[in-house]
Amino acid sequence: MNFKQMTFVCMGLLCSLGATADLLDSTKVYPIQEVTVHASRMEQKLKNLPQKVEIISSSLIQSLPAENLAEVLKRTTNLDIIQYPGLSATIGMRGFSPSAHARSYTLLLINGKPAGTTNLATINLDNVEQIEIVKGSYSVLYGSDAMGGVVNIITKRGSAVPEGHVSVESGSFGYRKFSGNFTGNSGTKLTYGLGYSRQEQTKDYRIGQKNQLKISDVDKLILDKASYGDAMDNSQYELNAANAFVNYDISKQWKISAEGAYTFAYDVETAGNYWGTYGQSKKDVNRLNLYVTAEQNSEKNHFRFSPYYTNDQNPNYSDNTDKGFISFKSTVKELGYQLQDNYKLGNFDVLLGTDLKIYDYQSDRFSAIGTPADPYKPNNKFTNVDAFTQLAYSVKNLDLNAGVRFDRFTYHIDANDGLKAPEADAHYNTLNPSVGAQYQFLKNFKAHASFGTAFSVPDAFKVAGKYTVSGKAYVGNPDLDPEKSRTTDFGVGYLSPKSSLRLDVSYFQTLHDRKIVEEKMASGEYTYVNANDSKMEGIELMSSFNLGQFLPEKPELEAYANFTWILKNDFTQLVGTEMLTRDMQYVRNANGNFGLNYRHDRISMRLNSRFIGSRLEKDSFSSLRTGIVAANYYAEGGYKATDKILQHPEYLLFDYSIGYAFTEKVNFGVTVSNLLDENYSEKDGYNMPGRSIVAKLAYKF
């Protein structure tokens, strides 16, 4: 029996047990369906949204062994996460590949506004109240890059009663963390809060020594047999995060809020890869996020105006020594505003809005201290102005929504003599609709379906301008269109009356058109064109069942399983004069989590298993892995052995955490990550940490 078959059998057993759930009492009901989804921009309840949405609560986040946002998403969702040593992690969704070196197809937001980064590893968990994951094309509300979906982070807000929290952690590989936050109020109108955290890993981590699933000798060669139990050199880091907010109620209807966060880290070691062939270096992280919101909320409408500013600077050094100099520095600024008004007209909600976004990229490169070198691409920026509307209708058992968005982009390229790049400008427009419906039947069942288009804006230098890098001449293509996607999904869900059993099975299909690729022209210059198309199909399963109802003391004992299986994921590519259809690289064929949550009296425990499916990657280290021969390369799905494509194996990881509340204010917990010491990779050449243990002591006041 393979892993997929085993999972279906387990879920079948859970469902058969759940058939008696309605006849039994459940001691604890968690009204997750009543949670407000902020990513909808209409403040709708989860139960009224036809689109696929997952909610990760603050209590679940606190129960996990997690150093950063990427670790949380790995252990709670069926998303495709790729993580590197050196505070670097990105996300993929529903067949869109995650990449740390290109624009993302999954949009990362903070309170519905741009996060200023796609790097999950630098998001401060201590300031996170809730995480919302919207799956499928969602450009109708958020514009570019929401082709796979949206991850929206909701930050903490003050309460009517002053409170605070401090915690200390210590664990394997010299891991240490301190965090603290305080929220208070001044009278009945003003609330405020402050927070700070510092975490560091002072030793290189060790790679796992085992594999739980059967892997071949070739798979072990891919990981490198010498890596088992070895150290990942140059993998130490430190990360600091500070945040503050203030909310003021101007009147019964009007209020204003402001929030700021500063994330910084220095001398973060970057391993390059396990063998160190890319060189061992270091980098700094400096990101500033500022958000302001003025809103008016009455019985009939909710008006909101939200300006924002983010500044992300990432200096990279020539090496990891004290003599290393900044060899490359990029600065990405995002600024603009969101303006919207939501009207209630009987059973209808009507949303009207317009957004302005300015994206500004600047970079400097140096061959030595004080010696400038030509950058990798010219400085550039784009301005995006849009208008959108969405209508939502709910009556009895039926929920509907539909919307449309119009975007206009204007590009500008700065002149650069070293790159032989003249000043240039360009512009284009794009229109994206969305529609969704769900219907509740037989009391506890619901059918849901949605369709939407989305787009990803090309980088400005691909649309306009002319420049040369390392002797290679590029010419922008003013006729270049944004990449587009069309996603359809539908499914059936079940929720027992006392929430003892939750189950949802969905099918999705995405057509990814106009994929942007590099092309050589007859002149010998290179340009960018819309060429490749791809198609993704898959099935998603979300389920949970309260086993505790069968026990005498009725504790919370939840069994859960969440999986995504990619049924089809291929793309067309022009190779020479031949158009080929090939399997997609860097995308796992399955992602999932299953396990048990237990909570009763003062004790809480969680046992989680993460399944990482196989993936295809081009072999970039053939000179280092001489044991791999031509017969070991993937020769299916449109590839030949000469393409040097490796099929990486499946992995299975277990994590365990236990916590004990001495009092209402004092908690102690221990977490074990990678419990069975799996040797695995999420990107070829970057083996991940083996077993680690962290202890945490927290105090609330």
Helix boundaries (H) for 548-617: none
State residue 13's pLDDT score: 38
State residue 188's pLDDT score: 87
Cα–Cα–Cα angle for 596, 57, 548, rounded to 5 degrees: 30
State residue 630's pLDDT score: 92
Task: Single out the residue of 474, 476, 432, 488 nearest to residue 455, CA to CA.
Answer: 432
CB atoms closer than 10 angstroms to residue 479: 11
Q: Taking 80 as the threshold, does the pLDDT of residue 507 lie above it?
A: yes
Question: In which residue are the tokens 């204007």 written?
Answer: 410
Find all residues with CB under 8 Å of 82, minimum gap 6, and list them: 89, 90, 91, 92, 98, 99, 100, 586, 682, 683
Look up residue 614 and give its DSSP letter. -
Task: Collapse the DSSP code of 642 into the 3-class scheme (helix H, G, I; strand E, B; otherwise coil) and give the result.
Answer: helix
pLDDT band at residue 1 under the 50/70/90 scheme: very low
Q: Taking 50 as the threshold, does the pLDDT of residue 370 lie above it?
A: yes
Average pLDDT over residues 106-133: 91
Using one digit for the tens of pLDDT, what is the confidence trace for 335-361?
999 999 999 988 899 999 999 999 999
Token pair recorded at residue 598? 């237990």
- Radius of gyration of the CA atoms of the chain, in A: 25
State residue 486's pLDDT score: 93
Please report the DSSP string for 488-522 in residue order.
EEEEEEEE-TTSSEEEEEEEEEEEEEEEEEEEE-T
Question: In which residue are the tokens 């003025």 written?
Answer: 294
Q: Taking 60 as the threshold, does the pLDDT of residue 6 lie above it?
A: no
pLDDT band at residue 19 under the 50/70/90 scheme: very low
Per the CB < 8 A criterion, the answer to whether 422 and 379 are in contact is no
Question: In which residue are the tokens 């229109």 written?
Answer: 431
Task: Single out the residue of 448, 564, 433, 408 nearest to residue 486, CA to CA.
Answer: 433
68, part of any domain:
yes
Average pLDDT over residues 580-588: 89
- Domain around 531: 3-614+649-700
314, part of any domain:
yes
Q: Taking 80 as the threshold, does the pLDDT of residue 553 lie above it?
A: yes
Per the CB < 8 A criterion, the answer to whether 568 and 583 are in contact is no
Question: In which residue are the tokens 């196989």 written?
Answer: 614
620, part of any domain:
no
Average pLDDT over residues 655-664: 93
Find all residues with CB under 8 Å of 16, minimum gap 6, and list them: none
Find all residues with CB under 8 Å of 456, minimum gap 6, and list them: 103, 105, 144, 145, 147, 482, 483
Token pair recorded at residue 413? 């390229």
- Tell me the C-alpha distance between 48 and 53, whole Å: 11
Find all residues with CB under 8 Å of 162, minimum gap 6, and list them: 182, 183, 184, 185
State residue 45's pLDDT score: 87
Average pLDDT over residues 549-568: 91
Task: Collapse the DSSP code of 353 into the 3-class scheme (helix H, G, I; strand E, B; otherwise coil) and give the result.
Answer: strand
Number of domains in the chain: 1
Average pLDDT over residues 373-377: 88
Per the CB < 8 A criterion, the answer to whether 641 and 666 are in contact is no
CATH code, domain carrying 353: 2.40.170.20
Using one digit for the tens of pLDDT, what is the confidence trace for 391-424?
999 998 999 999 999 999 998 989 888 888 888 8
Query: Would residue 606 be called left, alpha or beta, if left means φ above 0 and alpha means ψ between -120 and 50 degrees?
Result: beta
Q: Taking 90 as the threshold, does the pLDDT of residue 4 lie above it?
A: no
Task: Single out the residue of 154, 126, 148, 118 nearest to residue 135, CA to CA.
Answer: 148
Using one digit for the tens of pLDDT, what is the confidence trace for 290-348?
999 999 999 889 999 999 999 999 999 999 998 899 999 999 999 999 999 999 988 89
Q: Taking 50 as the threshold, does the pLDDT of residue 30 lie above it?
A: no
Helix boundaries (H) for 65-168: 69-76, 139-142
Q: Which residues pair with 582 in a beta bridge?
A: 571
Per the CB < 8 A criterion, the answer to whether 432 and 140 are in contact is yes
Token pair recorded at residue 563? 């999986």
Look up residue 159 and give its DSSP letter. -
Average pLDDT over residues 245-265: 95
Using one digit for the tens of pLDDT, what is the confidence trace for 168-179?
999 999 999 999
Task: Single out the residue of 533, 534, 545, 531 nearest to residue 570, CA to CA.
Answer: 534
Find all residues with CB under 8 Å of 155, minimum gap 6, and list them: 110, 111, 127, 128, 129, 243, 245, 259
- Tell me the C-alpha distance between 56 and 35, whole Å: 11
Token pair recorded at residue 74? 């790995």
State residue 100's pLDDT score: 54
Task: Single out the residue of 593, 592, 608, 594 nearest to residue 658, CA to CA.
Answer: 608
pLDDT band at residue 97 under the 50/70/90 scheme: confident
Task: Collapse the DSSP code of 553 into the 3-class scheme (helix H, G, I; strand E, B; otherwise coil) and give the result.
Answer: coil
What type of residue is 198?
A: R
pLDDT band at residue 37 under the 50/70/90 scheme: confident
CB atoms closer than 10 angstroms to residue 103: 14
Tell how far CA 570 is from the center of its chain.
22
62, part of any domain:
yes
State residue 657's pLDDT score: 93
641, part of any domain:
no
Q: Taking 50 as the threshold, does the pLDDT of residue 534 lie above it?
A: yes
Residues in the chain: 701
What is the percent of the chain where pLDDT is above 70?
94
pLDDT band at residue 101 under the 50/70/90 scheme: low
What is the percent of the chain where pLDDT is above 90?
59
pLDDT band at residue 103 under the 50/70/90 scheme: low
Using one digit for the tens of pLDDT, what is the confidence trace for 197-223?
999 999 999 999 999 999 999 999 999
> Residue 368 class from Cβ within 10 Å (0-12 exposed, 13-18 middle, 19+ buried)?
exposed
- Tell me the C-alpha distance between 368 and 326, whole Å: 8
State residue 682's pLDDT score: 92
Q: What mean pLDDT value characterizes the chain?
A: 88
312, part of any domain:
yes
Please tell me which of 63-77, 96-110, 535-549 the model is most confident about, judged by mean pLDDT. 535-549
Average pLDDT over residues 143-152: 90
622, part of any domain:
no
621, part of any domain:
no
Find all residues with CB under 8 Å of 595, minimum gap 6, and list them: 559, 560, 606, 607, 608, 609
Token pair recorded at residue 590? 């399955």
State residue 505's pLDDT score: 96
Q: Taking 80 as the threshold, does the pLDDT of residue 3 lie above it?
A: no
User: What is the bridge-based pairing of β-strands 149-155 and 106-110?
Assistant: parallel
Lowest pLDDT segment from 429-433, 498-502, 537-541: 498-502
- Tell me the C-alpha distance between 133 and 151, whole Å: 5
- Tell me the C-alpha distance between 367 and 384, whole Å: 35
State residue 202's pLDDT score: 96
